[in-house]
A and B are shown apart, each in its own frame.
Chain A
Amino acid sequence: MRLNADYLKTFVNIDMAAPQLKDLLVSVGMEVEEVIDHNGTPVFEIEITPNRPDWLSHYGVAREIYAKQPQLKLAPLELYQFEKEISREGFSLFIEDSSDCGRYSSCIVRDVTVKESSPWLKNLMESLGLKSINNIVDISNITLMTLGHPIHIFDLDKLADGQIIVRRGKQGEKLVLLDEKIVDLTSEHLVIADKEKSVALAGVMGGLETGVAAGTKNILVESAYFDPVRIRKTAKQLDLRTDASYRFERGADILATPAAIKIFLHMLSQDHGTPLNITWYHDLFPRTVTPQRVTLKKDYPSIYTGIDIPMDICGQVLKHLGFKPEDQGDQWEVEVPSYRVDIYGKQDLVEEIIRIYGYDKMESAIPLSLNTVVRMDKKREFIQAAREYLTASGLYEVINYSFHSPEENQRFSAAHPQFHSVLELKNPIGKDFSVMRNSLIPGLLRNTALNFNQSLNRVALFEFGRVFGIHDNKIQEEDYLGISASGEYARADWQTKKTQPFDLYIFKSILAALFKKLFPEANVSFVEKEFPFFISGTGLTIVLNGVQAGYMGEITRDILEADKIALPVFAAEMKLETLLQTLKENHFSTWNRYPSTSRDFSFLIDRKIKYTQLETAIREIKPDTLESWELTDLYDGKNIPPGQVSFSMNFAYRGKDRTLVSDEVNAIHIDFTAQLSKRLNLTRR
Chain B
Amino acid sequence: MINELKKEIDQAKTTFLKEVGEVQSQEDFRNIKEKYTSRKKGILTGFLQRLKDVPPPDKPTAGNAVNQLKVLVETGLNEAEARLTALKATKETHVDPTLPPFVYPVGRAHLLSAIRKRAEDIFISMGYEVAHGYEVELEDYNFTTLNFPEYHPSRDEQDTFFIKDFPDYLLRTHTSPVQIRYMKQHKPPLKIISPGKVFRKDDPDATHSPVFHQVEGLLVDKNIHFSHLKGTLELFIKAFYGENINARLRPSYFPFTEPSAELDISCFMCFGKNPLCKVCKGTGWIEILGCGMVHPKVLSNCDIDPEIYSGFAFGMGIERIAMLKYEVSDMRMMYDNDLRFNCQFG
Residues of A within 8 A of B (CB): 26-29, 49-52, 228-229, 232-233, 246, 249-250, 303-307, 345, 347-348, 350-351, 354-355, 359-360, 362-367, 369-372, 374-375, 377, 379-380, 384, 387, 390-403, 423-429, 433, 436, 447, 450-451, 454, 456, 458-461, 464-466, 468, 475, 477, 491, 493-495
Given the complex, which residues of B lie within 8 Å of A306, measured CB to CB? Answer: 225-228
Q: Which of B235-291 contact A (CB under 8 A)?
A: 235, 248-253, 255, 258-261
- Interface status of B293 (Cβ within 8 A of chain A): yes
Q: Is there contact, CB below 8 Å, between A364 and B165?
A: no
From B201, B211, B226, B235, A401 is in contact (CB under 8 Å) with B211
Given contacts A347-B293, A387-B109, contact A371 B234 (CB under 8 A): no
Given contacts A49-B252, A426-B164, A459-B339, contact A369 B258 (CB under 8 A): no
- Interface status of B177 (Cβ within 8 A of chain A): no
State the CA gap A556–B120 with chains docked (Å): 40
State the CA gap A350–B227 with chains docked (Å): 13
Q: Which of B207-234 contact A (CB under 8 A)?
A: 210-211, 219, 221, 224-228, 230-232, 234
Q: Which 5 A-B pairs have the closest CB atoms?
A: A394-B105, A306-B227, A29-B251, A351-B259, A49-B253
> Number of residues in B with C-beta < 8 Å to the partner?
85
- Main secondary structure, interface of B, reads mixed
State the CA gap A468–B190 with chains docked (Å): 30
Given contacts A350-B259, A364-B230, contact A447 B337 (CB under 8 A): yes
Given contacts A29-B250, A380-B120, A477-B135, 10 further A-B contacts (CB under 8 A): A29-B251, A232-B152, A307-B227, A347-B295, A369-B219, A370-B191, A391-B109, A395-B107, A397-B109, A454-B340
Q: Is there contact, CB below 8 Å, between B253 and A51?
A: yes
The chain B residue with its CB closest to the CB of A306 is: B227
Would you list 7 pairs from A and B whose C-beta atoms are within 8 A, ordered by A residue? A369-B191, A369-B221, A371-B129, A396-B107, A427-B162, A450-B337, A451-B339
Given the complex, which residues of B lie within 8 Å of A246, measured CB to CB? Answer: 153
State the CA gap A481–B256 with chains docked (Å): 34
Residues of B within 8 A of A (CB): 99, 102-110, 112-113, 117, 120, 127-130, 132, 134-136, 150-154, 156-157, 161-166, 169, 171, 189-191, 197, 199, 201-204, 210-211, 219, 221, 224-228, 230-232, 234-235, 248-253, 255, 258-261, 293, 295-296, 310, 334-340, 342-343, 346
Q: Is there contact, CB below 8 Å, between A354 and B226?
A: yes
Q: Is there contact, CB below 8 Å, between B248 and A359?
A: yes
Given the complex, which residues of A lie within 8 Å of B219, measured CB to CB? Answer: 367, 369
Q: Is there contact, CB below 8 Å, between B251 and A28?
A: yes
Q: Is there contact, CB below 8 Å, between A427 and B129?
A: no
Q: Is there contact, CB below 8 Å, between A232 and B230?
A: no
Given the complex, which residues of A lie within 8 Å of B261, measured CB to CB? Answer: 359
- Main secondary structure, interface of A, reads mixed
Q: How far is the CB of A676 from chain B (nearest CB, A)?
A: 39
Q: Is there contact, CB below 8 Å, between A366 and B103?
A: no
From B154, B171, B259, B334, A347 is in contact (CB under 8 Å) with B259
Q: Is there contact, CB below 8 Å, between A450 and B338?
A: yes
Given the complex, which residues of A lie within 8 Å of B199, measured CB to CB? Answer: 402
Given contacts A391-B346, A460-B105, contact A363 B296 (CB under 8 A): no
Given the complex, which residues of A lie within 8 Å of B231, measured CB to CB? Answer: 363-367
Q: Is there contact, CB below 8 Å, between B226 and A50?
A: no
Q: Is there contact, CB below 8 Å, between B190 and A371?
A: yes
Q: Is there contact, CB below 8 Å, between A495 and B152?
A: no
Given the complex, which residues of B lie within 8 Å of A50, measured CB to CB? Answer: 152-154, 156-157, 253
Given the complex, which residues of B lie within 8 Å of A456, measured CB to CB? Answer: 339
Q: Is there contact, CB below 8 Å, between A369 and B224?
A: yes
The chain A residue with its CB closest to the CB of B149 is: A229
Q: Is there contact, CB below 8 Å, between A394 and B106?
A: yes
Q: Is there contact, CB below 8 Å, between B210 and A401?
A: yes
State the CA gap A361–B232 with chains docked (Å): 16
Given the complex, which residues of A lie within 8 Å of B171, measured CB to CB? Answer: 402, 425
Q: How far is the CB of B260 from chain A (nearest CB, A)?
A: 7
From B161, B293, B340, A304 is in contact (CB under 8 Å) with B293
Given contacts A351-B259, A364-B230, contact A429 B210 (CB under 8 A): yes
State the CA gap A372–B26 with chains docked (Å): 84
Given contacts A351-B258, A401-B335, A423-B163, contact A477 B107 (CB under 8 A): no
Given the complex, which residues of B lie within 8 Å of A423, measured CB to CB? Answer: 136, 163-164
Q: How far is the CB of A343 from chain B (nearest CB, A)?
A: 10
